[in-house]
Amino acid sequence: MHERNIHRLYQISVALKGLHALAEIAGGIALSLFSTDAILRLLYRVDRHDAFARFFTPNEHRYYAFYLISHGLANLVIVVGLLREKLWAYPATFAVLSLFIAYQVQRYVYVRDPGLIILSLLDVIVMALAWHEYRLVKRIVGLR
């Protein structure tokens, strides 16, 4: 694949990761603003068989609000660093995304949510593209 296309794919994947981070932060804040009862009433209206609602407890409510906000903020910091080509952002990306992947796979074992696997695969793609970009940026910085 041509270097320019790889760079463009990298920029798109990082930008999408940033949009996803903003959506997670907004979702976490929204969860924080509503009570567990209000969310359960909404879930019962959406799903009459309460497949989702029976798993949504006050503890899960707090967990998801915290997870979405913290995951979103961590990813947003990484995205800003990557888009600004800050050298610290690349190793931080590898470390943070590796931890998130490990956690998402571990959580998948318990909840069997395929979305966790999809998120993990997307994180692996971003890591691979970031690694490629990191090598280029390091080489350019070394030439200065």
Predicted confidence (pLDDT) per residue in 60-91, tens digit: 788 889 989 999 999 999 999 999 989 999 99
For residue 137, pLDDT beyond 70: yes
Of 84, 86, 66, residue with least CA distance to 25: 66
Overall pTM surpassing 0.95 (yes/no): no
Does the pLDDT of residue 33 top 60, yes or no?
A: yes
For residue 17, pLDDT beyond 80: yes
Q: Report the C-alpha gap between 63 and 75 in whole angstroms.
A: 18
Domain ranges of the chain: 3-143
Give the 3-state secondary structure of residue 144.
coil
Q: Decide: residue 119, CB within 10 A, 0-12 exposed, 13-18 middle, 19+ buried.
A: middle
CA–centroid distance for 102 within its chain: 13
Average pLDDT, the chain: 88
Q: Cβ contacts of residue 20 below 8 Å, gap of 6+?
A: 72, 75
